[in-house]
Structure 1
């Protein structure tokens, strides 16, 4: 009896593999940092900078959603990851530009003010790396699907 072994199709890259693991770790740290910072600010002195502190809380939520979406499998979570990281990219650009052009709107810093300067500009760079990674994974999934169909 002869057994033929078919080579298995190339495994699909998961959002949580490779560089995705590093992204998940950075998103998780930022989620915790931004959540802690905004919670303290909102509890202790919300009336001094409500816009800034609310934006920091929103950033924390976005980082948390991005972390979960990068970990969780499935197309729905992939769409959530695209939405969260895309929102983050737009948010850091808008808040960063506003904080430079109209600093009076931000009497205290947010995670995204001055393009994330208080966080070593990681908030400015991270979404672009995240979007690049999502595009890489999507491309890999399409190649794998085409190979399976052939």
Structure 2
């Protein structure tokens, strides 16, 4: 897309949704921190204790990957990245709800806390609240820029 006045590419803030700006910086920082924490814990659990609960530890590693994708997408802030982040955050919300329910229904499958087990209680319930905040932030940025379709 070119700027009609100068013929050059538009400035990043005009081309994207600005999801990593303003209050979005805090959201990106929390996602990044959670990505690091979930990655570290899942790697340790897979390497040291995999035989105890392989499914829960693999789900924890998947959660870590989803946090990385969401972090990068929100930080970049262009339309395609925000679309990817929105999908990642939606999958995250579904994951934490489903795994949260299953971890209470079948506690033997989750002998240790993982990022999504018990609705993220081992992480101060941040995994439960963060995707809701992420989706609200993405929605607010879409509204501020006329949506993701390029219409303004």
Counterpart of 1:23 in structure 2 is 27
Give the one of 97, 102, 107 matched to 2:106. Answer: 102
Partner of 2:55: 51
TM (norm. structure 2) is 0.84
The answer to whether the 8 Å contact 2:32/2:68 transfers is yes
Matched, 1:123 2:124: no
- The alignment yields a C-alpha RMSD, in angstroms, of 1.6
Unaligned residue ranges in structure 1 (runs of 5+): 1-10
> 2:18–2:78: 8 Å Cα contact kept in structure 1?
no
Q: Please, which runs of 5 or more residues in structure 2 have no aligned partner?
A: 1-12
Q: How far apart are the structure 1 equivalents of 2:111 and 2:124?
A: 19
Which of these two proteins has the greater Rg computed from alpha carbons?
1
- Determine which structure has greater relative contact order: mean sequence separation of CA pairs < 8 Å that are 6+ residues apart, divided by chain length: 1
TM-score w.r.t. structure 1 length? 0.85
35, 39, 42: which is aligned to 1:35?
39
Q: How many residues align?
A: 136
Q: Which runs of 4+ in 1 moved over 3 A?
A: 143-146
Report the Cα offset of residue 107 of structure 1: 1.9
Alpha-carbon offset, residue 145 of structure 1: 5.1
Shift of 1:76: 1.0
**What does the per-residue CA deviation read over 1:10-40, in whole Å, with 9 as the maximum and x for residues that have no partner?**
x765100122101100000000001011111
Shift of 1:73: 3.4
Alignment partners' CA distance in 1, 2:95 and 2:138 = 18
Say yes or no: does 1:135 pair with 2:127. Answer: no
